Structure 1
Amino acid sequence: MPLLDPARWRLLHGGEAAAVEPATGEALGTFTLAAPSDVEEAALTAARAQRAWATAPYSERAAVLRRAGDLIRRHEPEIGEWIVRESGSIRGKADFEIRTASEECYEAAALAHRPLGQVLPSTAPRLSYTSRIPAGVVGVITPFNAPLVLAARSVAPALALGNAVVLKPDPRTAVCGGHALAAVFAEAGLPEGLLRVLPGGAETGRALVEDPRVRVVSFTGSTRAGRAVGELAARHLKRAHLELGGNSAFVVLEDADLDAAMSTAAWASFFHQGQVCMTAGRHLVHSSRYDEYVERLAAKADSLTVGDPYREQVHLGPVIDRGHLDRIDELVRGSAAAGVRIAAGGRYRDLFYRPTVLADAGPGSVGASPAYGREVFGPVAPVRAFDTLDEAVALAGDSGYGLALGIVTRDTARALDLADRVPAGLVHINDQTVNDEPIAPFGGLGDSGTGSRFGGEANLDAFTETRWTTVRATPAAYPF
C-alpha cells in the first residue's frame, strides 16, 4: 500500500502549487501552500497535543521513533523515487538520505531515555538539581537540497525529547522533504497534532517564527535568510538554531597523493550538483602541485555524466530551478570576465550544468572573482595556488564563512596544526568537506551559523530547556 496520500496535501489555505521534476519540468502532483492562518492553527493544535506527549513514558516516545526509522527503510522505493524526481538527486544520494534519515530516528529514540539532569552541591540544607524539560513547540524550516535528512535531523530529536513540531519545508521539495516524513510518523503511531507540515514561502516562515507558541526555531538555509530568521526570533525572545551557508576550503599540501585525492576533490565540489552547504568552494593547492591538480580535476569533471537521474545512470542531475541556474552561471561568467580561466565546464543545457573547474581564481575582492568569494551552491570548483603553510592558513581563513575544512596530506600532524589555525565547525583530514553523521555535532561559525549544533548530544541543548529545582524539608527562615 502506498505511503503517500495526495489528498492529505490539499488541506491548507495558501493556494495551489505543483511538485515539479527539475529534469523534465513535469508536474508530479499538486498540493496546497500554507497561509499564516494555517501556522496559527497548527501551532495551537501542536501546543495542546504537546502537553500529553511530554508526560508520556520515554519508552512510548522511543518506540514511535524506532518505528519511524523502520518505516523510512520499508518505504524506501516510494520515498527514494520522490527524492530523485522532486529534488533532482541521483539514486545514490537518495539512498544516502533514506539511510541517514532512518538513523536520525534511531539516534533520536536513544535521546528519549538520556539522563534528565544533574544533582548539584548546595551551601544550604536542601536538595538542588537540574532537569531538562521539553521546549514546547519547535518550528523547523528546511531547504530543498537534502530535504528528507535536513527535516529528520530536527524533527526526530525534537519529538523524541517531548516536543511538538511545525515543519515548513521548501515548497520545491514539499513532498520528499515534508509530506513523506509526516506520513511516516503517522504510520509509526505519533499522536495527532504533534507534527504538522506547512510548505510555504517567506510569509509562512515569518508567521512560524513570530507565533508565540513556537519557542525554538531550527532553521537550515542561506545566510541571507538565516539573518532574517535570527533577527526576528531575537525580537520575540526565542532561540534560533541557524545552520547556514558556506564557502569551505579544501587544502591540498605538497605531499598529497593526487591519485587518491582526485575522487575526494571532485566529490567535494560536484556532489548533488554542488547544492550542499559543505561543498568545497575553494580548492587551495600547493604551487608545486597546482598545474597537475588543475589538469587532473578538469579531466575528472569532463568525464562525469550529467543528465536525468530518474531515467539515466548519471553522476550529476539538474539544479533545482532556472533562477538558481542563472545565478550559478552569472558567477562563473563574472569570474571569467575578471580573468579566471574556465578549465572545464562552464556550459549548461536546460537545468543541467556541467561540472566546472575555474583555474587561477584569486581571493581579491568578491567582485573581481565572484565564484571564489561567494557561496556558488552549484557544481563549480575554483582553484588557487599557495606557496607556504602560513599562506594556506591565511587563504583558508579568509572568508566570513566557517563551516567545513578539508585537508589532504600524508603528514596528519601537520594537518592538525593547520586545522587549529582555521576557524571551522567541521574538519576532515584526508577527506572531503561533505560529511555528516547523526551522532556527530554539526554546525558552523560566522556566516555559516550561530555556533549551534545538531546531532548526538547537541540535540539535548537544541530542543530542551534546563530547569533548576531546590527542595527543603521545611520552609526556610530569613532575616525578615
Structure 2
Amino acid sequence: MLQHDTLFIGGDWVAPASTGTIDVVSPHTEEIVARVPDGTPADMDRAVAAARAAFDHGPWPRMTMPERAAVVARLAELYAARQAEIADIITLEMGSPITFSQLAQAPQPLGMLQYFAQLGETFEVEDQRPGMFGPVTVRREPVGVVAAIVPWNVPQFVIMTKLAPALIAGCTVVIKPAPETPLDSYLLGEMIKEAGIPDGVVSIVAAGREAGEHLVAHPGVDKVAFTGSTAAGRRIGAICGEQLKRCSLELGGKSAAIILDDCDLPSAMGFLSIASLLNSGQACVAQTRILASRSRYDEVVQAVAEMVTGQTVGDPGDPTTAIGPMVAQRQQERVENYIRIGLDEGAKAVVGGLDRPFDRGWYVSPTVFANAANDMRIAREEIFGPVLTVIPYDDEADAVRIANDSDYGLSGSVWTADTDHGMDVARRVRAGTYGVNMMNTLEPGTPFGGYKASGLGRELGPEGLAAYLEYKSIARLG
C-alpha cells in the first residue's frame, strides 16, 4: 500500500496540521491501496500564506512571461518522462480504463503544458492604443493567488487547465485535489520541485469539502478556478460573488448527439462509443442524449445497443477494457438510482439495467434507454455513468430544439454525410464545444467551457490565459 505522510506546501514536503488521513480505495477491488493526509483549514491557511508571499514578494510574478514559459517548458519535459507512471496511478486511484489513461489522462495535460509554454513565449503583455488625449498602454498583469479546485474524473487534465495558464500569467496557485484522487498530485509536486518553480508558487493540499470551502472563502485568494458539479459551482459562485472575487466555473453537462437521417450509422457508432462512454461515462462532455429521427429511430436504437453491448466491461488495468468501475460506491449507487428512475418513468432498458456485472468492484451495467422523452429525469439530469438515452425527434428543427432544451450547454455533436450542413446545425446549438462527425477533443489552443448551467468563463487557448490576467489601461500626456 502506498503511504504519503506529508503535504506539498510552499515548495517543500511538510507535515500536515492534523493526523487525519484519506484512504484511497480501488474501485475495482474495493481494497485500500493508499493513505494520504487529509488537508485541514489550517493546512489551507499555510498554503495560501505561502502563495501570498510568493506573489507579493517573490520573483515569479516579476519575471517576464518568456522567462516563466521556459520554466513551464522544463516542467513539460519532466512530465513527458513520467506519462506512463501518471496513467498507471490514475487508473489505480479512480478506475479509469488504462487505455483511456494512456491516451488521454496523461498525454492531454502534457499537451496543455506545452501549448501554454509556447504561447507564453510570444504573448504580448502590453499594447499601445490611440486615446482621445494621447496614446494609451493596455497592460496585462497576473490576477494574483489562485485556488484551483479539481474533481476526480480527469484529475491531471483539470489541474493543467488551471495550473498551466496561471503559471504563465505569473500567478501563484493552491491546488486542492479531490479526496478520491490525491495520488497523481504527489507526482506533480515532485516534478514542480524538480522543474525549479520558486518556493510558494504552487502548493497542493488534498482535502474534503470543509477545507475546500475554507480555501474558496479565504481572503488571501484572488481567484477561484473550479471544475465539478453544478450544485457545488453555485455554492462557490455565491461565495465569490459576496466577496467580489474572480471565479471561473466549469460545471456539468447533458450533451446531445444529433443523428441526421443521412448519417452512416456504423461509422458514427465507432466514434460515439468514445464520445458517449469515455472514462466509463464519467465525463462532463459525454454525449449521453442520442437524438434520432422517428423514421430511423428503431434502427438507431439497435445500433446504439449493439455499440454499447460491444464494449468490454472489466478490470481497468486490462488494456482490452473499455468500461471500468465507477469511482466510488456512492457513484455506483447514484448511477443505479438513475437507471431505476428511468424504468419508473416508463423508458425501456434495451441494454443493461440494474443487474451488476460483477460481485466485487463498483461496477454498473452499461445501459441504453429507448422509448424516452426529453422531459424525463434521465434526459435532463447529469448521471455521470455509462447510461445513454435515445430520444426521437420529428424533423431537424425539432432535433435542434431538443438539443437546446436543457439546463446545460457544455458540448454536443451532429452526425451527417454533409459536413457543411453539419456546420449549420452546430451553429444553432447553444453549447460551448461541438463536433461535426466527431467529438470535440478539447484542443489546448481553443476555448473550452459551457453555456447556461455548464459554467462561467473559458479555459484553454488564449482565452484561458486571459482568465488569469487583469487588464490595466495607462493613459499619458506628452
Q: Which residue of 2 aligns with 1:279?
A: 286
Partner Cα separation in structure 2 for residue 58 and residue 167 of structure 1? 22
Q: Which residue of 2 aligns with 1:438?
A: 444
Return the match for 2:142 from 125, 134, 137: 134
Single out whichever of 207-216 and 249-258 deviates more from structure 2.
207-216
Structure 2: which amino acid aligns with 1:262? Answer: M
% identical equivalent positions: 34
Return the match for 2:462 from 457, 463, 477: 457
Determine if the alignment matches structure 1 residue 29 to structure 2 residue 29.
Answer: no
Q: Which residue of 2 aligns with 1:79?
A: 86
Q: Which residue of 2 aligns with 1:40?
A: 45
Residue deviations 1:133-187 (CA, integer Å, cap 9, x gap): 01111110000000011001111110111110000111100112x2222222111
Single out whichever of 161-170 and 205-214 deviates more from structure 2.
205-214
Matches within 5 A, 1:260-409: 260-311=267-318, 313-346=320-353, 347-348=355-356, 349=358, 350-364=361-375, 369-409=376-416
Q: Which 5+ residue runs of structure 1 have no aligned equivalent? A: 474-480
Return the match for 1:121 from 130, 150, 163: 130
Partner Cα separation in structure 2 for residue 128 and residue 76 of structure 1? 45
Q: Which residue of 2 aligns with 1:151?
A: 159
Q: Which residue of 2 aligns with 1:173?
A: 181
- What SS does structure 1 have at the residue aligned with 2:283? coil
CA contact (8 A) 2:97 2:318 kept: no
Structure 1: which amino acid aligns with 2:208? Answer: G
- What SS does structure 2 have at the residue aligned with 1:29? strand
- Structure 1 runs of 4+ aligned residues shifted over 4 Å read none
Residue deviations 1:335-364 (CA, integer Å, cap 9, x gap): 112211101112323311222111111123
Shift in Å at residue 311 of structure 1?
Answer: 4.8
Partner Cα separation in structure 2 for residue 396 and residue 41 of structure 1? 46
- What SS does structure 1 have at the residue aligned with 2:6? helix
CA contact (8 A) 1:306 1:353 kept: no
Q: Which residue of 1 aligns with 2:231?
A: 224
Structure 1: which amino acid aligns with 2:239? Answer: L
Q: Which residue of 1 aligns with 2:4?
A: 6
Partner Cα separation in structure 1 for residue 242 and residue 188 of structure 2? 31
Partner Cα separation in structure 2 for residue 63 and residue 437 of structure 1? 22
Aligned alpha-carbon RMSD (Å)? 1.6
CA contact (8 A) 1:222 1:245 kept: yes
Partner Cα separation in structure 1 for residue 91 and residue 391 of structure 2? 34
- Report the TM-score when normalising by structure 1: 0.93
Single out whichever of 244-253 and 387-396 deviates more from structure 2.
387-396
- What SS does structure 2 have at the residue aligned with 1:214? coil
Shift in Å at residue 8 of structure 1?
Answer: 3.3
CA contact (8 A) 2:6 2:16 kept: no
CA contact (8 A) 1:273 1:316 kept: yes
Q: Which residue of 2 aligns with 1:477?
A: none
CA contact (8 A) 1:69 1:101 kept: no
Shift in Å at residue 34 of structure 1?
Answer: 1.3
Shift in Å at residue 383 of structure 1?
Answer: 0.2
CA contact (8 A) 2:75 2:191 kept: yes
Q: Give the length in aligned residue pairs.
A: 462
CA contact (8 A) 1:129 1:470 kept: yes
CA contact (8 A) 1:64 1:185 kept: no
Partner Cα separation in structure 1 for residue 421 and residue 117 of structure 2? 39
CA contact (8 A) 2:266 2:303 kept: no
Residue deviations 1:35-72 (CA, integer Å, cap 9, x gap): 11111111111111124211124343112211111111
Partner Cα separation in structure 2 for residue 466 and residue 222 of structure 1? 30
Partner Cα separation in structure 2 for residue 184 and residue 438 of structure 1? 21
Q: Which residue of 2 aligns with 1:99?
A: 107
- What SS does structure 2 have at the residue aligned with 1:363? coil
- What SS does structure 1 have at the residue aligned with 2:136? strand
Partner Cα separation in structure 2 for residue 394 and residue 160 of structure 1? 40
Shift in Å at residue 76 of structure 1?
Answer: 2.0
Partner Cα separation in structure 1 for residue 334 and residue 415 of structure 2? 30
CA contact (8 A) 1:275 1:379 kept: yes
CA contact (8 A) 2:459 2:465 kept: no
CA contact (8 A) 2:6 2:37 kept: no
Structure 1: which amino acid aligns with 2:469? Answer: T
Q: Which residue of 1 aligns with 2:429?
A: 422
Residue deviations 1:373-410 (CA, integer Å, cap 9, x gap): 21111001100111211111111111010111100011
CA contact (8 A) 1:152 1:181 kept: no
Instruction: Identify if the C-alpha distance between structure 1 residues 469 and 133 changes in structure 2 by more than 3 Å, giving closer, same or farther.
Output: same
Partner Cα separation in structure 2 for residue 421 and residue 105 of structure 1? 33
CA contact (8 A) 2:280 2:323 kept: yes
Single out whichever of 224-233 and 22-31 deviates more from structure 2.
22-31
Structure 1: which amino acid aligns with 2:251? Answer: L
CA contact (8 A) 2:258 2:292 kept: yes
Shift in Å at residue 189 of structure 1?
Answer: 1.1
Single out whichever of 193-202 and 245-254 deviates more from structure 2.
193-202
- Report the TM-score when normalising by structure 2: 0.93
Partner Cα separation in structure 2 for residue 220 and residue 353 of structure 1? 25
CA contact (8 A) 1:407 1:432 kept: no
Shift in Å at residue 105 of structure 1?
Answer: 1.0
Q: Which residue of 2 aligns with 1:448?
A: 454
Shift in Å at residue 7 of structure 1?
Answer: 4.2
CA contact (8 A) 2:3 2:36 kept: no
Return the match for 1:109 from 107, 112, 117: 117
Structure 2: which amino acid aligns with 1:302? Answer: T
- What SS does structure 2 have at the residue aligned with 1:226? helix
CA contact (8 A) 1:111 1:157 kept: no
